[in-house]
Amino acid sequence: MATKKPAPIMIPAQEDEMIGRIYSGIKARQDRPMRLSRLGASGIGEECLRKIWMDWRGYDVVNFDGRMLRLFETGNLQEDRIVSDLKAAGYAVYAKDSNGEQFTFTDKTGHFVVKTDGVIKGIPSAENTPHVLEIKTHNKKSFEELEKKGVVISKPMHYYQVQAGMLFSGIERGLYLALSKDNEAFYVRRIKPDTHTQNDILKRIDILVNAEIRPARIGESDETYPCRWCDFKEVCFDKKPPLKNCRTCEFSRPVEDGKWWCDKNDFNLPMELQLEGCESYFQKGK
């Protein structure tokens, strides 16, 4: 006599509801309102300067769901865990400055910032040489490509980030440490200063800070590579207007010390006012 399968305690719709509530709770806990920040090392190697410029100036905001926010949190937790692993292995790792914050470096304009994962010493064959530490986690496919092609080719944005860390910290060596989230395998490479890449970083910062109009698009349409997958494609191709804030206004411009100036009202724009705009707001041209 065939054994009758027990009825499920929960039906798929109820399971989906529970999962949805978990992700909604994560989003409610972690989600932040839009904020305007400085140009960052993690994005300076982005292929499209227009995307970097629009992101920096608050043309649009990327909204992540609860699953993605949890994934980002997992990466941050892994960084702390890896630092602990390195210390347990006998390496000297300095993950925080004297104020208990990430090591932070800026360029001469004050508009570009580098926040490193730390500084490490004790590296084999260079025990006394400090290295800028950059930690990344990868899924299986990304990690296998990293092992096969190396960081320069497989993860150029990560490579630019390490080069920016060395350039603005004055530390002449970098250590790129990657972890596979699939099997806990490590990938470690020492990185030397690359004059060509560092000069390109400086050139990019100069272009972005001093650009009076939007940098050119790199794609012909929002449905072709690489624009098809860009978070800013709708505002980039004028399918929706930029968000209203001081940085998308024709009258604002970046000035020294990382500040923003309003030519219409003739004053420095405090950060808390930049998100609001004012009655004089005028949208920047295409």
Q: How confident is the model at residue 3 (pLDDT cuts 50, 70, 90)?
A: low
Which two tokens mark 195?
A: 């004059």
Whether the pLDDT of residue 104 is over 90: the answer is yes
| pLDDT value of position 266 | 93
Which backbone phi and psi does 143 adopt, to 5 degrees? -65, -40
Query: What one-letter code names the amino acid at 32?
Result: R
Q: How confident is the model at residue 36 (pLDDT cuts 50, 70, 90)?
A: confident
3-state secondary structure of 142: helix
| pLDDT value of position 232 | 94
Q: How confident is the model at residue 11 (pLDDT cuts 50, 70, 90)?
A: low
Give dist(CA 196, CA 201) in Å, integer.
9
| pLDDT value of position 284 | 61
3-state secondary structure of 34: coil
Whether the pLDDT of residue 1 is over 70: the answer is no
Percent of the chain with pLDDT over 70: 94
State mean pLDDT over 42-64.
94
Give dist(CA 232, CA 228) in Å, integer.
10
| pLDDT value of position 6 | 67
**Which contiguous run of DSSP H or E holds residue 178?**
strand 174-180
- Map 192-227 to HEC letters: CCCHHHHHHHHHHHHHHHHCCCCCCCCCCCCCCCCH
Taken in order 113, 114, 115, 118, the sign of the CA dihedral is negative
Give dist(CA 203, CA 69) in Å, integer.
33
State mean pLDDT over 186-200.
97
Mean pLDDT across the chain: 91
In CATH, the architecture of 65-206 is Alpha-Beta Complex (3.90)
| pLDDT value of position 4 | 66
Whether the pLDDT of residue 143 is over 70: the answer is yes
Which two tokens mark 75?
A: 């990466």
Which two tokens mark 60?
A: 């649009």
Give dist(CA 33, CA 201) in Å, integer.
29
| pLDDT value of position 44 | 97
Whether the pLDDT of residue 285 is over 60: the answer is no
pLDDT in tens, 197-254: 999 999 999 999 999 889 999 999 999 889 999 999 999 999 999 999 999 999 999 9
Q: What is the pTM of this model?
A: 0.90
Nearest alpha carbon to residue 231 among 16, 33, 60, 66: 60
Give dist(CA 18, CA 52) in Å, integer.
37
pLDDT in tens, 163-183: 999 999 999 999 999 999 999
Q: Order of strands across the sheet with 104-106?
A: 39-40, 112-115, 104-106
Question: Domain-by-domain residue ranges, the chain?
Answer: 65-206
Q: How confident is the model at residue 35 (pLDDT cuts 50, 70, 90)?
A: confident
